[in-house]
A and B are shown apart, each in its own frame.
Chain A
């Protein structure tokens, strides 16, 4: 019988091939895919996030755990879609207009995906209009904005203004992050939340969609 505690450990320890093999074995034994995700895989990524915030894990450990999670989800996704499992939320994520930096954005996207969110990755140098369109056309419930530079962080404010002008501000939560960003800045521009790291962004997004 598949030992799903080992799947949890495989993801925490970033062992992608082990995770894949354990999932395939569980599926062969007719274990419910939703149970695999919600009882073992998402809690594993939560533990990864906890270790990251406790300075036990660093970026490489996040990366290999996220890779193991992604590998596992690759096996499960068709079955999850079929079963009608709903994501924790739909996050449109991007680096704001004027900024081409994407490492932080990619890490946050990987952790959010590992946390059960559906990701719409808008890429880098994303205009406020594209973020607006992601809400209108793709039903994003969370917008995650990343900026590396003090000069591009103003695009975050422009994106929030664009959402207000489009009459969508109350339909979506806006979270922000990046090297120059602070909680104070998030408050100033009317963002719903700020996190200084990728693991914290998952907890923040969960709190906001549950509110």
Chain B
């Protein structure tokens, strides 16, 4: 099986040789920290750990078009004040990975929407696509008959971008101050998604999955009420997932983050059937429990607790074994529930990958070797 066939078989509960072995990346500090523990400078994690080739993206620009110009407005030593491409002014650490502190947002109300954003949000703007020659080359690659990696089409975001443009405080107030505008913006995001994916799908590209990102849950649950989510976002998701299904794209995932318990059934209702990455977190989300509750309709990527990876080899082994029945059932690709933080010792991560390959990968020869021998 090649990586693409393995991905499809896994997500569609079909027979396969083994589970794909992926990770979701690392915090900025992790690899330098691991450098002190023997990780070779400059090594690529996928190669070093012998991961399977990850999925690759296809798509067009679903964001502001054109974006705001990014510029550093002030240097404050350890931090800097920056105008981001989404128009927000933030203070961000030069070395810290923390979410930047927002100082102001360019989108505040209907007036700023109409003046500074609407013209950047035209669904049919040709600039959403690269020049013709580049575009043709990309399409040729994506439609190559012998393509052996899974392809994922990007559909942007219905809420996450509005939140980034306005800030959570303002968007929360907007839902009550000008619900019509909130709804209108969600519709525009969906229009852009539909315009871009339609052109790609009509060009003959057949991705194995589609993705949306929202990052709209935190430890206590969703950032907005399930009621508003259902009224405003579900119909827009459905417009997108209907287009995808028309072209045979069955696997649609959402980069959800946080405690998704209350939104998960609504995403399913909207045709979004894969939760990525299911974060375990302090709320102890469990992929086994999600499967029990939602059945095979819900696919899960993630579900391996990053906190657990920072503990002991025994705990890691127990967790790998606990998740194995779900891995074997399919519709589940385990990976660290978000990016790997620097307090996970390198040895623990190597141990985890080795166990994942042994148990979930069945130690098949088509697995790439883990370069952990370098550490011994």
Q: Which residues of A contact B (CB under 8 A)?
A: 14, 55, 57-64, 67, 98-104, 106, 124-125, 148-152, 178-182, 196-197
Q: Residue B367 at the A interface, CB < 8 A?
A: no
The docked-state distance in angstroms from the alpha carbon of A182 to that of B280 is 13
The docked-state distance in angstroms from the alpha carbon of A55 to that of B220 is 10
Chain A residues closer than 8 Å to B79, beta-carbon distance: 100, 125
Q: Which residues of B contact A (CB under 8 A)?
A: 27, 29, 79, 91-93, 96-102, 168-169, 171-173, 175-176, 218-225, 228, 258, 262, 281-282, 306-307, 310, 341-343
The docked-state distance in angstroms from the alpha carbon of A100 to that of B20 is 36
The docked-state distance in angstroms from the alpha carbon of A197 to that of B168 is 16
Are A182 and B282 closer than 8 Å at their CB atoms?
yes
Chain A residues closer than 8 Å to B91, beta-carbon distance: 100, 124
The 5 closest A-B pairs by CB, nearest first: A60-B172, A63-B172, A100-B101, A58-B225, A100-B98
Q: How far is the CB of B164 from chain A (nearest CB, A)?
A: 12
Are B172 and A59 closer than 8 Å at their CB atoms?
yes
How many pairs, one residue from A and one from B, have CB atoms within 8 Å of each other in the complex? 90
Chain A residues closer than 8 Å to B169, beta-carbon distance: 63, 103, 106
A-B contact pairs, 27 of them (CB 8 A): A59-B223, A59-B224, A60-B176, A60-B224, A60-B225, A63-B173, A64-B173, A64-B176, A98-B96, A98-B98, A99-B98, A100-B93, A100-B96, A100-B100, A103-B169, A124-B91, A125-B93, A148-B99, A150-B306, A151-B27, A151-B341, A151-B342, A180-B307, A181-B282, A182-B282, A196-B220, A196-B282
Q: Which residue of B lies closest to A198 (CB)?
A: B220
Contact of B92 among A62, A64, A100 (CB under 8 A): A100
Are A151 and B29 closer than 8 Å at their CB atoms?
yes
Q: A98-B98, A100-B100, A124-B101 are in contact. Are A60 and B228 (CB under 8 A)?
A: yes
In addition to A100-B98, A150-B306, A196-B220, 14 A-B residue pairs with Cβ atoms within 8 Å of each other are A58-B224, A59-B168, A59-B172, A60-B171, A60-B224, A60-B225, A100-B96, A103-B168, A125-B93, A148-B99, A150-B307, A152-B98, A179-B282, A180-B281
Are B96 and A101 closer than 8 Å at their CB atoms?
no
Are A58 and B219 closer than 8 Å at their CB atoms?
no
Most buried by A among B171, B172, B258: B172
Chain A residues closer than 8 Å to B310, beta-carbon distance: 150
Chain A residues closer than 8 Å to B98, beta-carbon distance: 98-101, 148-149, 152
Chain B residues closer than 8 Å to A197, beta-carbon distance: 220
Q: A100-B99, A101-B99 are in contact. Are A60 and B262 (CB under 8 A)?
A: no
> What is the predominant secondary structure among interface residues of chain A facing chain B?
loop
Chain B residues closer than 8 Å to A149, beta-carbon distance: 97-98, 341
The docked-state distance in angstroms from the alpha carbon of A99 to that of B101 is 9
Q: How far is the CB of B336 from chain A (nearest CB, A)?
A: 12
Q: Which residue of B lies closest to A177 (CB)?
A: B219
Chain A residues closer than 8 Å to B168, beta-carbon distance: 59, 103
Are A101 and B101 closer than 8 Å at their CB atoms?
yes
Chain B residues closer than 8 Å to A125, beta-carbon distance: 79, 93, 96, 101
Q: Which residue of A lies closest to B177 (CB)?
A: A64
Q: Which residue of B lies closest to A106 (CB)?
A: B169
Chain A residues closer than 8 Å to B93, beta-carbon distance: 100, 125
Q: How far is the CB of A114 from chain B (nearest CB, A)?
A: 15
Chain B residues closer than 8 Å to A99, beta-carbon distance: 96, 98
Chain B residues closer than 8 Å to A148, beta-carbon distance: 98-99
Contact of A55 among B92, B99, B102, B221 (CB under 8 A): B221
Contact of B218 among A14, A61, A100, A179 (CB under 8 A): A179
Q: Which residue of B lies closest to A67 (CB)?
A: B173
The docked-state distance in angstroms from the alpha carbon of A103 to that of B220 is 13
Are A58 and B223 closer than 8 Å at their CB atoms?
yes
